[in-house]
Each structure stands twice: as structure tokens, then as C-alpha cells.
Structure 1
């Protein structure tokens, strides 16, 4: 595995750590459980990090020194690709011949390194995009920064080099074909999973007691990185509309925002808190630093609904995790969220980012406990379709298929 720009050991919810970090570590663990030894190469961001960390039985995380340990923005990482790749190749050269059987790269920066490793080691390259510049640029949030042309070109090169591309959903598969010219035969749809032993129904009342939340509160939760792409401002503006329409809601409305600034959100790290002040809702909003997966499961369980108002999501892991706890999700009808959330069954989809439309949808759940319970039951049932064990089995098959494709091309 190559995860250059963010380590699977990092805490999701801040910086560049998010669903991809969870994806890499959970998939690696499940592959290891099937007898597949996994090395994850990632860039070292501190001189105090050990060169190798055993993240689980059969899973080694290798910290590669490439550029300054701290203070290097993601946009500056392309300048370190050669150094990173050299260190990856050097590590392999110290192993017996044919040590690695496949390379699975995550995000386009890793794909650039993976393409070199593929050619040097004569093993198949499987690539997961996680996000795509062309897709992001088509659905930019107000004030967000477009992805540069250098990334677009880099992604096109990775798509061309990979023996197989793993897409999270049918929507992402179509985007790879339509926007990047990928061969449909080279794209495999494999849904990410959820740890159903961590994200499981535990009871809303119990979770609220654990977090010190009122049992009769209407809790509307946002969990994730605080950046324009994730659109937490849409939730806050919708809450402002709700309180404007019905001031009596103020005494029982609680809006936890769990996560930290990330991406372009780092330019104005207090922007969301400032917005809460401007909207006059600071008294109902609670900012919570990034939490562990186990703690996130408690927050999700405690919520009346989890809001995922993103402008784009290749999948939307937070939405699956919330549903697995029995909490309905209100999500933007974009990207992978239309697969992850079954509208009217496990949650509600909103076709716009207009705060009034979001307020109207959230109000349905705030006012109707029976609807919350019905959607909650549907959410648990729907989440059972997503497991990391199934993801690992499908991915292992994809590695085999990628090898067959590579050898067929070489023979032709």
C-alpha cells in the first residue's frame, strides 16, 4: 500500500486525515487476517516517528523521510515524489527478489509512485482515487480553491498507468470513464466497509448519558473535517433558519460539530465558530475536537440525525458509520452519498445546498420521533451491506484480476 500524503495511523477528522485513513488501515487489517502481509508506505511528518510501526498483526507502516518533517503543505508534496519513490524502491531492494506481489496506491500522489514501483518490480498496480480533481472542480463550494491543472494531469497519468482502478461506487466508476477516459474493463466497483463491531446500535439514551447530553434534546451532528468541501456551514445556516422559524426549538436543540480544520479551511480556522456567532446560534453549537472511532460511534448513537452536506463525496464513510449505529442520515444527493443513503429508508437526501431546504428536511426529523425510529431501523439494516471483510475479499480478487490484465498486456 502507498498512502503518501497521510498516514493510516493519523487521527481522522483533522488535517489531511479522513475516510481514506480509515480505509487504508481497515482494509490492511482485513487483508492481513486473510494471510496477506501488508506494508503501508507513508511520508514521515515527525522526526520522532519510528521507521516502522506494526499497526496490526501482518501490517507494517513504513515512515519514509521525504522533505521536511513538518510544515509541508499537501500542494508542495509533488516536489517530494522523487525522494519518496527512491526510498520506497530502496526498501524493496533490501528484501528478497519478488518480495511484493502487488501495489495498491491511494490518492493521485501515491499513484505516481505506484506507477514507478509497478514498472520496476513487474507487479500489478491497483489504484484508488478517493477524490478526483475534475469532480471537485465541477462542484466547488463558495470560496473554495479549485484543484490545480498539475493534479488533473497527474491523475490522468495514474489512470493510464494503473492495471486496475478501484471505484467506491457506480457513480465514481462512471466518472473515471467519462472524465478520465478509463477503460470500463479496467474499473472495479468495490464498496468500502464499516467496522460493525464498533459502529453498532447502543441506544440513544445510553449514548446521551455518556456524553452528558439531555435525553430529550434534538441533536443534529456533523462529523468530519471542517473545510468548504464538507459544507458544515450549510448545517449551521439551516439551524439558523430553524430557530428563526421556531424560536422555541432553542431550548432543546444541540448541534455538535466533531472534527478539526482541514484543507482550505486551515486558512480561516475560526470561520465556522465565527459563522455560529454571526447567525446567533453559538449557544446551541458545540465544537468537539477529532475523536477516536469508538468515541465517534457514541456521538453518532446519541444524535437524532447525522448531517452530511458535502458538495462531493466519493463514498461518505461517516454516513455508513452513523447508519450502522441506528441513526438516520440527512445527506446531500451527490456522488457516493446517493449509494450510501437510501432515501426514505435509511435517511433523507437533499437535492440542494440551500439552508432553507436543509432546514425543512431536518425539521421533519426534529418533529417526528416515529420517523426517526423508522429510518433508524432502516439505517441499521442498510449498513449491514457494508463490511470490511467483504471489501477485503473483493479487493483481493481485484489484485488477482489486475495481475492477469498486466500479464495479458505484456504478452500482447
Structure 2
């Protein structure tokens, strides 16, 4: 899939802990890397915040970032950026080259939703934070919420095709406060880089600065009231003086909280902790990981967190976490197992919870080891897989839900489109197959079934073979052209195999002895009417059949292309043709992972072909040997499919 990540107010290239960059920046960049490692293409779109930023940049990990003009090209307080949402949308332009638009934070969603709708692309929303309730005390010390945010979050929650929440807590808030449909909300916990965030080796001594003593506490977040760095400092002051470790505070203030940093420094001085509290600026990922694994306890005192990624990173580093029992932190931390959750923001309660950890080395080691074990089960690859499943769900719930494949003979379905059919079934689409004939005049594989050639029994055998193949592919809806529900009148009829002869190089025609009831000699208008009846019956939203040359020129294939396209046109449905020419394809699907499933389906067609022991090649009844097709393309009106 091609996925557009919209991150209007902050770039994935920004260092967490600086300005408005934080856990969201870490999450979206790590998720994008993991999706790309799994074969998807992800591109970021963010606001240009410095004049020297190019229109398009490639980060050191290969991710592409597009800088969009919206407001002055300088850092802005987050509270001022929403006035440039419309300009960002206007300059963002069309998104129809993508299969999914994934917006991060409400401003991104408000900007991108109309563009996704215009392009017919599913819009997926992740909030990362939701506005505090108007009566919430958490707003003390915070700038007032923009009225646009409160209405914008409701718009994003109610109009997005799917919401991916980073915690059950966030899902409940989005449903309860923002009116999201619970059926359109999925929870996908963030992951962690367990190679980067690892426990310290026994002989790996290190301190962040010469003045910092080993066994320090660590706080790492933006300096703003919501993150409660003041509580971390007051907790230190509440400890017995003889047992106070150093506290390393990592983070910077954003423009919305320009005066807060001075308040925090005054608090340190007022509590006589100048020799115990060390302030460091926002760190790169490697430096933060080193700070974590050498700390004794990680403090996460936030008043609210949608998840609290830094807590999971500390667990992965083998460090116990002391965290507020607030929001998603109750999911990032397993209380008493990977950390301790404190149900209040009273400094004495925090000090009382912290002291046992400081006094008991064995307890810290045990909690740290459990945290590491849990983190190892939460890789970004796992998160990417669940996110990819969510994207497929969003696509499958869009305007294209039911796809009908129209083919001429049994085994064509699997030979030409088996991998694609299985892939679409797995992605959550309803897939139906309409077959025109039973391949009555086709050759039979030499061997124990040769006696069926030219007999009525061959028709029934091939019906059974096709039923088995479709079951292997996961198809539940199937009919034969001319038999209800694929019949426009009350009287059923059979369309017979036309056979084939080469009229001249590259041009085939029906066999001279083909029956008048054969597909090519029957009335095409009647065939189209029967196909229309079936497409109406199954509720198809997209019609797929052969290319205009029938793949290799078989006249029945060419006729079914014409019938399928005419039926789609009559119903106003999009039509897409199968192709093996990558250069010709409007959309190409590399589906080699489906080879075993396609081979299993083909093994049902014993009268028509033989699957070799390698499970990758077949020999047709006529003696031709070729590889099993798993990669295929679609030409024409191809909607956004996974």
C-alpha cells in the first residue's frame, strides 16, 4: 500500500522533547519505518517551519518528508497553528496517488479529510491526544483550548473511516467525548525498539554528566504543566535527605509555555535541590536510550497520557517505572510487575512509592526484568502488522466492498487471478466468481482421468474441481452464466466451451465444430443481460475480467472481456482488466506469499493441469509447462485496494 502520513503541526524529523515534539514524533516515525520494512510505501506531509526546508527531503532512515507551506516558515506555538489548516490543505493538493490517508493529531485530520473524500481514499485517524474536558482541572497552567480543536476532534471522530487509538483509554475518550462510532475504533498499542532501548551491560558504567551520581532518577518529557515535571521535583524533595538520588530532567519548553521553564528552575532553588536536579536539553534517540538504561527509576508523573511511550521504552531498558495512574499509562505499565502506578499527584504519595524501589536493589532488578520481557513482545513489526490490518479494514469498508471476477472456463479463475482473489478475501472484501462454461471441449491430462474427455461426465467433474479450488481461495459466492442467479429470464441455459483455433498469428477464433450454444456463437446481448443479473444479485461494486486480448487470445476469454465490460457499463460499475504486464498495469500486486494457497487451489483441477512437486510450476493438459502466477496487475478503473 501507499500511505500518506499527515502530521501538520510537527515533523517526524524533530527531536522529541524539543518544542512540540514528543512521543507522537517517535511513534509515527517508528511506525512508518516498520510499515516500509513490510513492503508498504509511507510518505510524510508536514508544515514548513524553516525557510531552508526543501519541498521534499529524505531522512537518514529513508523516509520521505514533504514540507507544505502554511503560515510563516518558522516554529509556531501549537496553539497558533490551527489558523493555517485551510492553507495547509490548499497547498497539500490531491492525495489520489495513495491508498490510505493516515492523519496524526486533530489538525492533520481536519486538513486531510476533505482531500481523502475527494480522492475516494479511506481516511484513518489517530489523535495522540484529545482536548481536555472544558471543566477539567488539567487545564490549569495550560493555554485555553482553541474552539476549533473541540469541534475539529468531533469532525475527525465522526467522519473518518477508521480511528486507530493508541490505548483503550484513548478509545474510550474518542467514543465518549468525540462521538466516534465504536465499530470504527481499533486499539493498537505502540511498540518499542528493543535493540535501541536495552538493559545496561554489567560492565557498562556511565553518567550523563560528571556531576551526576550513579543511581539517578530520570524524567524525560516536554516541560509543560500537563507533563508535571514539578511533581517529579517535589517528589525528590519529599524523600529523606540522606536517600535522595540525583534527578535528571530531560526536555525543553515549547513556545506555548515560554515562562514555565523559569518557574521550574525557581522551584528547584526554592526546595534547595540545585545540587540534585540536572537539566538536559532534548536528546537524540541513542542518547536518551543511554540515559534510560543507566537510571535507577523512570518517573512519568503526567496528569494525562494517551499511552506514555517513554514508560514502555524504560521497561525495555530494564528500568522500573514510577508513573501516574492516569490515562494510557495504566496500559503502558503493568502495576507492580513492570512498574508502580501512583493513584494521586501528591508528592508524599510518590515519595512513599519510590522509597521501596530505591532501597531494594532486588525489587528494582525483578521489575526491570519483567518490563524487558513484556517489551520484547511489543515490537514495531508487530504494531505495523496490526496497523496494516486496520488499513485493510478501512479500505474494505469503503465504497468498494464486493468484487466480482468474470471468467470463461474452470481453472481460469485460479490461473489468472487466484492470488489476487485470495488476497482480497483476506483483506475483508466480499469476492464472487462468475464462470461462463465448464470447459467441456478442453483437453484432459493424460492418465487415470483421460476417459472423461468428450463425455458429459467431464462437465460434472470440472464443476466439482472448480468448487474445490474456490473453497481453497476463500470464495463463497459462485455461479455459472445462464443459470440463476446469473440469468436474466426464468428459463436457464448453458453456455458451452467454444474451443479454439488460430486464425492467424496472434488472432484466435472458435473451433469450427463448436456448438451453436457455445459462448462465442451465442447472442452477446443475452450473455450481457445474464451477467448484469448476477452483478445485481451479488451487489458487486467492481467488475474484474480478462484484458481485451483475453490474456492469450482464446475467443471465450475475449468474449468474456466484452461481456463483463458491457455489463459493468450498464450498471455504472468500475471495470478492471487483468494483466501480466507490469508496465501496462494501473495497479500491480506482488503476491508471492500466496503461492502455497494458489498451488493448493490448482491441485483441484486434476483434469486440466498438474502441479509439480516444487509447488511453483504446472503443466497443462496440452503439455505446456509454466510457473504459477502470483503477481498480477489491473488495468482500468482501479479503486484503492490494499
Calculate the TM-score normalised by the size of structure 2: 0.60
Aligned equivalents of 2:225 and 2:208: distance in 1?
31
1:181 to partner: Cα distance: 1.5
Q: In 1, are the aligned partners of 2:132 and 2:139 still within 8 Å (CA)?
A: no
- 2:354 pairs with 1:362: yes
Query: Among 51, 56, 63, which residue is 1:52 paired with?
Result: 56
- 2:314 pairs with 1:317: no
Distance 1:171 1:71, change over 3 A: closer
Aligned equivalents of 2:113 and 2:332: distance in 1?
31
Aligned equivalents of 1:164 and 1:205: distance in 2?
48
Partner in structure 2 of residue 328 of structure 1: 320
Greater relative contact order structure (CA < 8 Å, 6+ sep): 1
- Tell me the SS of whatever aligns to 2:53: coil
1:169 to partner: Cα distance: 1.2
Partner in structure 1 of residue 193 of structure 2: 195
Partner in structure 1 of residue 81 of structure 2: 77
Structure-to-structure mapping, 1:375-386, within 5 angstroms: 375-386=367-378
- Tell me the SS of whatever aligns to 2:99: coil
Q: Kindly name which structure, 1 or 2, has the bigger radius of gyration based on alpha carbons.
A: 2
Residues 130-153 of structure 1, C-alpha deviation per residue, up to 9 Å, x if partnerless?
000045963506423342332111
Q: In 2, are the aligned partners of 1:306 and 1:327 still within 8 Å (CA)?
A: yes
Decide which moves more: 202-211 or 293-302. 202-211
Aligned equivalents of 1:279 and 1:173: distance in 2?
39
Partner in structure 2 of residue 117 of structure 1: 115
Residues 151-178 of structure 1, C-alpha deviation per residue, up to 9 Å, x if partnerless?
1111001111100000111121111111
Partner in structure 2 of residue 266 of structure 1: 258
Aligned equivalents of 2:363 and 2:61: distance in 1?
43
1:219 to partner: Cα distance: 1.2
1:212 to partner: Cα distance: 4.5
1:364 to partner: Cα distance: 1.3
1:201 to partner: Cα distance: 1.3
Query: Among 96, 99, 114, which residue is 2:97 paired with?
Result: 99
Q: In 2, are the aligned partners of 1:204 and 1:303 still within 8 Å (CA)?
A: no
Calculate the TM-score normalised by the size of structure 1: 0.92
Q: In 2, are the aligned partners of 1:136 and 1:312 still within 8 Å (CA)?
A: no
- Tell me the SS of whatever aligns to 1:303: coil
Partner in structure 2 of residue 302 of structure 1: 294
Q: Any gaps of 5 or more consecutive residues in structure 2?
A: 403-538, 542-642
Partner in structure 2 of residue 40 of structure 1: 44
1:256 to partner: Cα distance: 0.2
- 2:226 pairs with 1:234: no
Distance 1:218 1:120, change over 3 A: same
Residues 283-318 of structure 1, C-alpha deviation per residue, up to 9 Å, x if partnerless?
100001111111111111111100000000001011
Decide which moves more: 383-392 or 258-267. 258-267
Residues 344-371 of structure 1, C-alpha deviation per residue, up to 9 Å, x if partnerless?
1111000000000011111111111111
Aligned equivalents of 1:291 and 1:173: distance in 2?
30
Aligned equivalents of 2:293 and 2:20: distance in 1?
25
- 2:59 pairs with 1:61: no
1:263 to partner: Cα distance: 5.9
1:324 to partner: Cα distance: 0.3
Aligned equivalents of 2:81 and 2:274: distance in 1?
37
Distance 1:137 1:308, change over 3 A: farther
Aligned equivalents of 2:35 and 2:198: distance in 1?
22
- 2:152 pairs with 1:131: no
- Tell me the SS of whatever aligns to 1:407: coil
Q: Any gaps of 5 or more consecutive residues in structure 1?
A: 93-97
Q: In 2, are the aligned partners of 1:29 and 1:56 still within 8 Å (CA)?
A: no
Partner in structure 2 of residue 147 of structure 1: 145
Aligned equivalents of 1:382 and 1:2: distance in 2?
30
- 2:220 pairs with 1:223: yes
- Tell me the SS of whatever aligns to 2:258: helix
Query: Among 352, 355, 363, which residue is 1:371 paired with?
Result: 363
1:268 to partner: Cα distance: 2.9
Distance 1:51 1:318, change over 3 A: same
1:408 to partner: Cα distance: 6.5
1:267 to partner: Cα distance: 3.0
Aligned equivalents of 1:99 and 1:57: distance in 2?
23
Aligned equivalents of 1:232 and 1:210: distance in 2?
19
1:264 to partner: Cα distance: 4.1
Aligned equivalents of 1:155 and 1:72: distance in 2?
21
Distance 1:285 1:214, change over 3 A: closer
1:180 to partner: Cα distance: 1.5
Number of residue-to-residue matches in the alignment: 400
- Tell me the SS of whatever aligns to 2:336: coil
- Tell me the SS of whatever aligns to 2:253: coil
Aligned equivalents of 2:130 and 2:84: distance in 1?
21
Aligned equivalents of 1:234 and 1:209: distance in 2?
23
Distance 1:164 1:222, change over 3 A: same
- Tell me the SS of whatever aligns to 2:50: coil
1:325 to partner: Cα distance: 0.6
Distance 1:57 1:322, change over 3 A: closer
Partner in structure 1 of residue 241 of structure 2: 247
Residues 117-138 of structure 1, C-alpha deviation per residue, up to 9 Å, x if partnerless?
1111110000000000045963
1:12 to partner: Cα distance: 0.6
